[in-house]
Amino acid sequence: MSTSTAPLALPPTAARASRRQLLIGTTLACVAGTMLIGGMLAIWVLLRGRVVETGGRFPVEYIIPEVTTNVMLITIWSLCLFAQWAVYSGTRGDRAHAGLALAVTAVLAIAFINAQAFVYADMAVEIRADYYGALFYAITGTLMAIVIAGLVYTAVAAFGVLGGRLQESEVLSAHALYWYFTAAAYTAVWFVVYVTK
Amino acid sequence: MTTIDTGPNAADSLAHDASSDSAAVSLLVGAAAWAITTDHKRIGRLYTGVGLLALLATAALGVVLGVERADDGAKLVDADSLLQLFQAYRVGLVFAAIIPIGLGLAIAVVPLQLGARSLAFPRLALTGFYSWLGGLVLTMTALGANGGIGGGDEQAVDLFLAGQGLMIIGLIASAGCVATSVLTTRAPGMTMRRVPLFAWSALISTLGMLLALPVMFGAIIYLFVDHRYGQFNFGGSEGIRTWIGWGYSVPAIIVYALPAIGVAAETLPVAFKHRQVLRGFKFAGIALIGVTALAATTQQFVSAVTIDTDSETFIRGAVPFLIFAGLPLLGLVMSLGLGLLTAQQGLANGRPKIAAPFVFSLFGVLMIAVGIAANFVLGITDLELLGTSFEEGATLFVVYGAALGVIGGLIFWAPKLSGRVIPDKRVFPLALVGVAGATLAGAPMLIAGFLDQPGGLPANDADVSNMLTIGNIDQGVLWNTVSLAGHGLMALTVLSFVLLMLKMLTEADQPVDNNPCGGHTVEWGTSSPAPAQNYDNVVTVASPEPQFDMTYEASVS
């Protein structure tokens, strides 16, 4: 008795992702993020202008811990330096240094989040107390979400590096680009929210 | 480390494996295959399918609201729910209809047009679809629970904002996939100058979405946090309209209609058997229409200009007016003019082949053109059209025009998407009913706007009351009755088209040529329907219209 043989082959693999696809996709995400933060800052400036015009104080009576916010600024730009180091190491096939750079990037991102938590605790802004609370938490919370997304991105890039995909350094470049965007976004937030009184 | 990517058609193979099982299991597995598909053609059809159903529901809602407006005594619905119904109507027109159907068609067709084997980040596009769908359900649920702009239930208002945010996140994700595809997955030889016009219009539209929707999302974050915790800054639930109302109206929505203009740009050269002349200028024309995204990024939905005033005021008003209203109009005129030029040169090749996709898309573009022209007129302050139903008329022309164009695209690319050729005789009547519906729905609102009928997006019961009080408007009942008839015709068109699609999908498969429509671009070289990975071999492109070259240039030589 003859039996027919069922094909057991796996389905065909997906087409290999085009070159720089991840980089371009990340760039577009950064553009969208820029519009998000830019739009939110524009609303912030508009509302602050209205408060100041009516003789009000903005940010009410809260004291901004400027040392912490300035350190956050230094941290986020330092983080970019390490993200770029990961790109450099990845391009050279240096897995140890690429992994180390990504680890430091993650540590600095966590430090940034920790510093933001300190700012929240130190300022003790009450969200329901006045006009400032909701605005403050909305803009800084959005930035926190962007930083946390960057941390996830770092973890994904690190998995790639640990898996030995160093030749595909595009993910490291795209990852670094994301952090540059995040640093620029925080710089704008730092100036508008923390520096300008 | 070895990784196995199951490929775009892994989910589809599930359905094949279950073919020997019972019908119920097959159905279940088939549904699961659709639910987790990474085939861009299926994702696009999910978007357009749900979007068309939502458009049908919105047009039906337009009929109900039209009855309420046309007859003061009508009480089809509870007066307390009219505010939410008007908002559901506007949300439906924009976020449930025009955006998803245009984006869905782009997701389904653009990779084929690029000679690509898949969409960039297809899983992200599918996630975007579910995010959009979930947000739509949440939004409509919130409106049903007395939420929305000016809603009486605080938690439902929060839910409305959350739903809107979720929809926007999904649309941004899917739009990013389309834009990345155009920029990175083009076939060898396909430079940006050789990109098909539909793919170009999809690129401009999705880039516009990436610029505009995050701004609206940022405003929603503020509104949500402020509304939930204190309501100090944005005027409570009624103030929501001030900050995101621009997202439901012209000029911001014009950028979402660009794929429909792209469909017309594809079908016209096919109908007249001639290359698109001056492609570069055509690209520029479509891009100029996309400038309307700036209207959203600046959150300036009305750029009023007063003619009779001092020079400084005039200039301050005229600059944004010309950017938001003038440039799109210029782009549209360029696009239409080049279409006419192509048609005129094509007539030398003999009698044109007027097929249903061309008729649908032509009608669609003409409707969109009226909407863009109305947007131009709306900005002239001296005409005092702001706050009237004129804005609703312009919005209806753009939305319904885009719907006609997208339906034309679905018919045009049906061989590639479903392996079926839709006979012209079945859909020609729908085109006529559709254009009649769009015209009858929108034009009376424009006329009533000149008669000072209140309109716009209502934020409270007083606004609704104003919109329903048309007794003092000359022939107000007539215009509103005609408009509701237009909504009815549009609903009939969409319903008939959906039923026709369902009927055709149940019919037996027939062998279809690769290029039954005489298309010019690269996707007509692959089999019908296109396989899961679009092309069996990597295609190389040497011209913007490779199929035209093979069909006509070869016959000449």
Per-domain residue ranges of chain B: 40-556
Residue of A18, A34, A58 best to disrupt the B interface, most CBs of B under 10 A:
A18
In chain A, the residue whose alpha carbon lies closest to the alpha carbon of B217 is A36
Contact B74, B68 (CB under 8 A): yes
Is A10 a domain residue? no
CB atoms inside a 10 Å sphere around CB B387: 15
In chain B, the residue whose alpha carbon lies closest to the alpha carbon of A127 is B229
Coil/strand/helix, residue A71: helix
Across the A:B interface, residue pairs with CB atoms under 8 Å apart total 127
A154-192 pLDDT tens trace = 999 999 888 877 666 789 999 999 999 999 999 999 999
Distances from the Cα of A1 to the Cα of B20, B36, B125, angstroms: 22, 40, 49
Average pLDDT over residues B501-511: 84
Instruction: Identify the pLDDT of residue B313.
Output: 67
Q: Which residues contact A78 (CB under 8 A, 6 or more apart)?
A: A108
Instruction: Identify the pLDDT of residue A161.
Output: 84
Contact B8, B533 (CB under 8 A): yes
Model confidence band, residue B151 (pLDDT cutoffs 50, 70, 90): very high
Q: How far apart are CA A132 and CA B226, in angstroms?
A: 10
Contact B444, B476 (CB under 8 A): no
B158-176 pLDDT tens trace = 999 999 999 999 999 999 9
Q: How far apart are CA B391 and CA B457, in angstroms?
A: 10
CB nearest to A130's CB, from B8, B13, B232: B232
Residue of A36, A41, A156 best to disrupt the B interface, most CBs of B under 10 A:
A36
CB atoms inside a 10 Å sphere around CB B4: 9
Please report residues of B whose CB lies closer than 8 A to that of A19. 184
Helix axis angle for B40-70 and B390-412, nearest 10°, is: 150
Is A13 a domain residue? no
Please report residues of A whose CB lies closer than 8 A to that of B232. 130-131, 134
In chain A, the residue whose alpha carbon lies closest to the alpha carbon of B2 is A163
**What is the domain count for chain A?**
1
Cross-chain Cβ contact B120/A18 below 8 Å: yes
Instruction: Identify the pLDDT of residue B556.
Output: 47
B266-325 pLDDT tens trace = 999 999 999 999 999 999 999 999 988 777 666 554 555 666 566 666 766 777 788 878
Question: Out of A106-115, B198-207, B229-238, which region has the weakest mean confidence (pLDDT)?
Answer: B229-238
Cross-chain Cβ contact B226/A38 below 8 Å: no
Is A1 a domain residue? no
pTM of the full predicted structure?
0.92
Structure tokens, A23: 């980089």
Is A16 a domain residue? no
B28-74 pLDDT tens trace = 998 999 999 999 999 999 999 999 999 999 999 999 999 988 876 56
Burial class (CB in 10 A: 0-12, 13-18, 19+), A88: middle
Min Cα separation B220/chain A (Å): 10
Instruction: Identify the pLDDT of residue B386.
Output: 85
Question: Out of B98-112, B282-296, B479-493, B512-526, which region has the weakest mean confidence (pLDDT)?
Answer: B282-296
Average pLDDT over residues B342-369: 94
More confident residue, B368 or B554: B368
Average pLDDT, chain B: 89
Neighbouring C-alpha atoms within 13 Å toward the C-beta of B528: 24
Domain span at residue A75 reads 21-195
Percent of chain A predicted with pLDDT > 90 = 69
Contact B119, B177 (CB under 8 A): yes
Q: How far apart are CA B466 and CA B472, in angstroms?
A: 11
CB nearest to A134's CB, from B172, B212, B230: B230
Is A58 a domain residue? yes
Q: Any idea which fold B40-556 has?
A: Cytochrome C Oxidase; Chain A (1.20.210)
Q: How far apart are CA B531 and CA B552, in angstroms?
A: 26
Coil/strand/helix, residue B409: helix
Structure tokens, B365: 């573009």
Please report residues of A whose CB lies closer than 8 A to that of B218. 35-37, 39-40, 43, 142
Instruction: Identify the pLDDT of residue A15.
Output: 54
Min Cα separation B219/chain A (Å): 7
String of DSSP letters for B118-173: S-SSHHHHHHHHHHHHHHHHHHHHHHHTT-STT-S-HHHHHHHHHHHHHHHHHHHH
Model confidence band, residue B3 (pLDDT cutoffs 50, 70, 90): very low
Cross-chain Cβ contact B215/A39 below 8 Å: yes
Question: Out of A132-141, A154-163, B104-113, which region has the weakest mean confidence (pLDDT)?
Answer: A154-163
Model confidence band, residue B16 (pLDDT cutoffs 50, 70, 90): low
Beta bridge partners of B454: B388
Q: How far apart are CA B432 and CA B264, in angstroms?
A: 16
Model confidence band, residue B203 (pLDDT cutoffs 50, 70, 90): very high
* Run of H or E residues at B115: none
Please report residues of B whose CB lies closer than 8 A to that of A141. 221, 225
Please report residues of B whose CB lies closer than 8 A to that of A133. 229-230
**Domain holding A80: CATH number?**
1.20.120.80
Structure tokens, B225: 């946090």
Question: Out of A152-166, B4-18, B478-492, B531-545, which region has the weakest mean confidence (pLDDT)?
Answer: B4-18
Average pLDDT over residues A134-147: 96
Is A4 a domain residue? no
B118-128 pLDDT tens trace = 999 999 999 99
Coil/strand/helix, residue B388: strand
Characterise B350 by phi-psi region: left (phi > 0), alpha (psi -120 to 50), beta (else): left
Min Cα separation B184/chain A (Å): 6
Q: What is the ipTM of this complex?
A: 0.91
